[in-house]
Amino acid sequence: MRKKLQKKLLRLRAILSKMQSILIAYSGGADSSLLLKISKDVLVKNVLAVTAKSPLYPEDEIKEAKSIAKKIGAKHMIISTNELQNIAFARNPVNRCYLCKKELFKELTKIARKNNLNYIADGSNLDDNKDYRPGSLALREFKIRSPLKEARLTKQDIRELSKSFRLSTWDKPAFACLASRIPYKEKINENNLSKIKKGEQAIKKLGIKQARVRHYDNLARIEVASEDISRAIRHRKIIINKMKKLGYNYVCIDLQGYRTGSLNEVLH
């Protein structure tokens, strides 16, 4: 392990040790899984992982989060949320992420108090500062800690550490909620979310690990990792047929490839 990375890991352990007890907003992704692993090592029983089950996340993601938490040996709770019942959120404003996080952190605050846990933490890392993240306001309002970011860990650091700890999530593709595929101001509903979920699942079955179906009413703009663009083009007939069955009239593959926050490009 790199000496610089060793120092960051020691810093992370020291931060967690001072926190004494922690509730982790746990998605099952690379970031929150590493945070859960190190927190469990440092704080032993004084750790609780909480995952929100909602229409915004595929069931497979919830099952995987449950499996990983079990392997780590951490206490894990799954709660149900339905952001679509919030009319303001369903309208899909630019601060959509803030509205979602605000409701989630309200619930997590209640759980933390009930379980006498000192802090609530999320898996934000140093690289998250590079994108537009309105949800960060909710973190500040509810005094949510981000130990990975406090320890100056980047996404690359997290993957390297996760691999050294043999976490299955070390190379897991980034995953944001399904609502992030829908342009701002276009209403979010269960039908659109279902189309996006089924479309992405079909593309991944072709051996493509990272896929986004960006939803524009009757058009699907598909993003895959740059190295998988040629594969997606080779399988374009399968992809087109699936998307047409889901109700999309037009299908395109984005030649820029997958990138985080591509829908935020219109804001700049």
**Which of these, 262, 258, 238, 246, lies nearest to 199 by C-alpha position?**
246
d(CA 251, CA 232): 12
d(CA 123, CA 146): 6
pLDDT at position 43 is 97
**Which of these, 118, 127, 147, lies nearest to 14 by C-alpha position?**
147
CB 76 within 8 A of CB 70: yes
CB 12 within 8 A of CB 36: no
For domain 178-267, the CATH class is: alpha beta
pLDDT at position 133 is 72
pLDDT at position 264 is 61
Residue 134, SS3? coil
Q: Are strands 47-53 and 119-121 parallel, antiparallel or unpaired?
A: unpaired
> Is residue 215 within a helix (H) or strand (E), and if so which, with residue range?
strand 211-216
Side-chain half-sphere of 198: how many Cα atoms within 13 Å?
A: 14
- Which ranges of the chain have pLDDT less than 70? 131-132, 261-268
CB 178 within 8 A of CB 193: yes
Q: Which residue has the tokens 């859960």?
A: 36
d(CA 27, CA 123): 9
**Which of these, 234, 169, 246, 171, lies nearest to 201 by C-alpha position?**
246
Would you kindly state where each structural domain of the chain is located, as residue ranges? 3-171, 178-267
d(CA 186, CA 65): 30
DSSP H helices in the chain: 3-19, 30-43, 59-72, 87-90, 96-114, 136-141, 147-150, 155-164, 190-204, 229-234, 236-246
Multiple choice CATH, 3-171, 3.40.50.620, 3.40.50.10800, 3.90.1210.10, 2.115.10.20: 3.40.50.620
Which burial class, exposed, middle or buried, applies to 131 when counting CB atoms under 10 A from its CB (0-12, 13-18, 19+)? Answer: exposed
What is the value of pTM for the model shown?
0.89
pLDDT at position 259 is 84
pLDDT at position 132 is 63
Asked if the domains at 3-171 and 178-267 fall in one CATH topology, the answer is no
Q: Residue 137 contacts by C-beta under 8 Å, 6 or more apart in sequence?
A: 95, 98
Residue type, 249: N
